[in-house]
Amino acid sequence: MSAWVLPDHIADVLPSEARHIEELRRLYLDTARGYGYELVMPPLLEYLESLLSGTGRALDLQTFKLVDQLSGRTLGLRADTTPQVARIDAHLLNRAGVTRLCYCGPVLHTRPDRPFATREPLQFGAEIYGHAGIEADLEVLHLALDTLKAVSIHQFTVDLSDARIVPALLIGVTLTADARDALHSALAAKDTSGVQALSKDLPAHVRTALVALVDMYGDASVLAQAEKTFAAWPVVLQALAELRQIAADLSGVAITFDLADLRGYAYYSGVRFAIFVPGASDALVRGGRYDEVGAVFGRKRPAVGFSLDLKELVSVVPERALKAAIRAPWGTAQGLREAIATLRANGETVVCVMPGHESEVDEFDCDRELIEVAGQWAVQAVPAVQAL
């Protein structure tokens, strides 16, 4: 095998795309800061038990593991940043009130989560801790929508669900972890026959409710149907009421519901959302409430957040124009070097042309050039027919 071949679903990011991704990263961190979210930078790896505490088996299977040569303990390369941010909130910041945190960094997956997906997403996310009310859910959802609007994505669909529904239906029912996982998978896949087979030994009213849940996806009429079907489960009715309230707040936004949606990590504990945009093969943004995620760190705090992959985002947004730049000759003359340094100090990009490479195209739009006029260096516009 050639030394330059990369592992499957791992790829280099080349200049044009890398520039676009970096611009998006800066834009998104600024957008989150506009809401009052503070930036944190968790480490890429940490002790496995800390990284996976309370996250469930799905995240465990997605996590690369290795042995620390210093301590002999098992380390994990993070597959999701949320548990780390929960640890920071619980142990390092330890604030009593509301805390808003955001982050942007790579995560690693042992397997791609869908065909053609990368195993090294660049995950941006924002999370709010310390408020149990629906106001936090709404703020996070509006921030997620604003991140899409910031890159001129105005066509999207918000799909709502709630992680409390299935556990509420299964209260008092004894299932092994494998059986529960299989049932969750069948519900998420809308596999009616699978749900029927997996629930055949459950009480009749539970089995009937689970089978009915499979078909509860679509427009707002789903909520009315669910309220009738699940009238005997107060927790489910509360979840449905919150979904109604959130949908009412999102005026002008296309909204769907999928009450059996259980995809994602096991730490969700309340309202969940997924945002779909044209051109993306799956949900571009996922988020929701996960009040239990900090409990394993000794400090259970209400929490809501969302995340997205900037590498996936860049594939569905229009390419940005090349950055305007100034073309300058390469030289050692003091006046030339001082002129270039002054321009760069003022925020300009100055590309010095190496001898013999005057006609090469690069990642910058050199619409101006630095030329010597009567012994002084001056910037002039490049005629359109000469622009690179």
Q: Which residues are annotated as a binding site for L-histidine?
A: 80-82, 123, 127, 263, 267-268
Residue among 290, 268, 308, 277 nearest 32 (CA): 308
**C-alpha–C-alpha distance, residues 154 and 142, integer Å:** 13
Instruction: Find tokens 């989560």 and name the residue.
Output: 113
Mark the binding-site residues, compressed into ranges.
Answer: 80-82, 123, 127, 263, 267-268
Rounded CA-CA distance 157/145 in Å is 10
Cα dist from 175 to 180, 266, 268, 315, whole Å: 6, 16, 20, 42
Sort strands 323-329 and 350-353 into parallel, antiparallel or unpaired.
parallel
The DSSP bridge pattern shows strands 217-218 and 254-258 to be antiparallel
